[in-house]
Amino acid sequence: MSSQLEQAKRLAKEAPQQAIELYSSVLFADSTSSYTVADREAALLSMAALFERMQDAAALTKLINGSQGYLTSVSKAKSSKLIRTLVDRFNGIEGGIQPQIATCQGMVEWAKGENREYLRQALETRLISLYLDNRMYTEALSLISLLLSELKKLDDKMQLVEVHLLESRVYMAIKNLPKSRAALTSARTAANSIYTPPPLQAHLDLQSGTLHAEEGDFKTAYSYFFETMEGLSVYVTPKSVDEDAASASAAGDLSSGGSPASFEQRQLQAFAYMLLCKIMIQQPDDITALLATGKTASKFRDHRAVAALQAVAKAQKQRSLADFERVLSEHREELQNDELIRNHLTALYDTLLEQNLVRLIEPYSRVEIAHIAKLIGLPIRVVENKLSQMILDKVFCGILDQGNGCLVVFPETKHDSTYETTLDTIKSLSNVVESLYVKAATL
């Protein structure tokens, strides 16, 4: 490593602007200079890491666009790896998704001009993921359609798995579960014919579990989330790993899944979904045993998201609506940011509210709505709307006497099967008469 790079590395924390100037002098030096290709590469990656630390998306965009001359001077494999690493640096910048999309689109055009088809396809796959994160579903589906037609002609199985997986995630985001499942089936079909790296297999399992959870099959979903967590365990390094090693790992290809930090985050997500499944199948007691066993589970025991789900399980066990609302309020960030957890906890809240209301109105044939609202600790309007919905859903028989502010509950009427039995008897007699008529006609 040259002396300028060493000096820039020392100045990176105390005087970042001076460090940037030194890195630039190495990266953009004349071809006649003594700097090697490795020196230029180190300067480029160090500058990108410094801009990420400074939260400067504009400077990082300018660096990527300005380094295209250097990228053409190295091998295609090396330049592809560097471009993906540079684009991924936006992940650590707050609000950097729009500049990342714009930069990725620019690099796609550059790859087209340089006739680098594999790099273009890899960048377009990354662009689809960015569209998904930014909720640009129409653009994502359009690009998926074009990319799939190309990849099927090339028979690039690995890339097909990734694109089909992204397609499944996009369709699930727009609540088109049949198409999401079809895309996931296509991804698994392509994955069965090749060696699938464990991180990519973990993504497939996570998507499978999410789909099963959306369809209400929480037991199957739990097994997929468990496979996801265990599949990533060998890729998670200790927290003492230095930044350079993490950066080198992040520079891997798209199928590797990312850095150790992203693997650990994905593990935590899968573990949180496992706890959610236990809550949704009314087995909150299993959560304590789950946290007490297993090296991976114990690692996340003190995490805020895990603690929030433990509190939800406790409230569910006690069937306490007040405790449930308090947990949702205290842990809003952990429970509301993830769409799957948010949706299912909303459904669980409705179920708990319904169970509590049924328990409260059970002794009465006529009761004031205000009294029920007081007992359950909710506004009258909320209780009235829920009771109305329960009557329409035929949870119990009754009417709302809004003039007197009362709920009138009727005894549950038993189903009278006389009419169905009579119709079946008439049908059987008709068949007998028809049979006799046919036999009489043959005499």
Residue-level length of the chain: 443
Residue with tokens 């169970």: 355
Looking at residue 159, its amino acid is: Q
Contact criterion met (CB below 8 Å) for 135 and 157: no
Contact criterion met (CB below 8 Å) for 250 and 234: no
pTM of the model: 0.78
pLDDT, tens digit only, all 443 positions of the chain = 467 777 778 777 778 888 888 888 888 877 667 778 888 888 888 888 888 888 888 888 888 888 888 888 888 888 888 888 888 888 888 887 888 899 999 989 988 888 888 889 989 999 999 999 999 999 999 999 999 999 988 888 999 999 999 999 999 999 999 999 999 999 999 999 899 888 899 999 999 999 999 998 999 999 999 999 888 877 764 443 333 333 333 333 434 446 667 788 888 889 899 999 999 998 888 888 888 776 777 778 888 888 899 888 888 888 778 888 888 888 888 888 888 999 999 888 888 888 888 888 888 889 999 999 888 888 889 889 989 989 888 888 889 988 888 999 888 777 778 888 899 999 999 999 999 988 888 87
The percent helix, strand, coil of the chain (3-state, each to 5) is 75, 0, 20
